[in-house]
Amino acid sequence: MKTDIKVAVTGAGGFIGHHLVTYLKTLGYWVRGVDLKYPDFTTTDADEFEILDLRRWDSCLQATRNVNEVYALAADMGGMGFISCNHSQILHNNALINIHTLEAARKNGATRYFYTSSACVYPEYKQKITDVEALRSPMRTRRIRRTRTAGRSS
C-alpha cells in the first residue's frame, strides 16, 4: 500500500528507531532516517539515511525538510554510567535536540510531530521500582478477555 506521506524518523540508528523505519516502510511511507550512526546490527530500510547531529540547528532543518511527519526518537543516551554522572550535559544535549527538531519541523511545514521520551528522564531510584501495573485501555482488556473466553473448550 503506497502512500504519498513522507516522514523523518530521528534516532533511526537506534533499536526502536530502526524498527519504526521498517514498520513505516511496510505501510508504504517514504522514510528518511536520521541519526549520529547507522543501525548496529542490520542495514536500514529507509529510503534515505542521513548522519546528522541534531543538537545543531542546521542539521534539524536538513533532517525535517520536505516531510509531512516527524517521529522524534533521537536522544543523547550514553548509558547509565555516563548519564548518572553527567546530568547537565545530557539535559543540555536533549533540550537542544528536542527544541531544534520541533521548531525545524514547524518551519519546514511538517503537519504532524510525534515526540517520544526515555526512561532516562526519570531519576534512577524511580527506575528500580518493579511493583508497577501496566497501563491498559478498557477496550483492550475487554478484547483480551473475550479472546481468552472464546478460546476455552468446555
Cell numbers at 118, concatenated: 526515555
Cα(55)–Cα(49) distance, integer angstroms: 17
Cα(135)–Cα(88) distance, integer angstroms: 31
Q: Where do the structural domains in the chain lie, given as residue ranges? A: 6-122
- CA-nearest of 75, 82, 83 to 36 is 75
Cell numbers at 148, concatenated: 481468552
The radius of gyration of the chain from alpha carbons, rounded to an integer in Å, stands at: 19
pTM above 0.75, yes or no: yes
User: pLDDT per position in the chain (154 positions), as tens?
Assistant: 678 999 999 999 999 999 999 999 999 999 999 999 999 989 999 999 999 999 999 999 999 999 999 999 998 876 667 767 777 888 899 899 999 999 999 999 999 999 987 666 666 677 777 777 776 655 554 444 444 444 444 4
CATH number of 6-122: 3.40.50.720
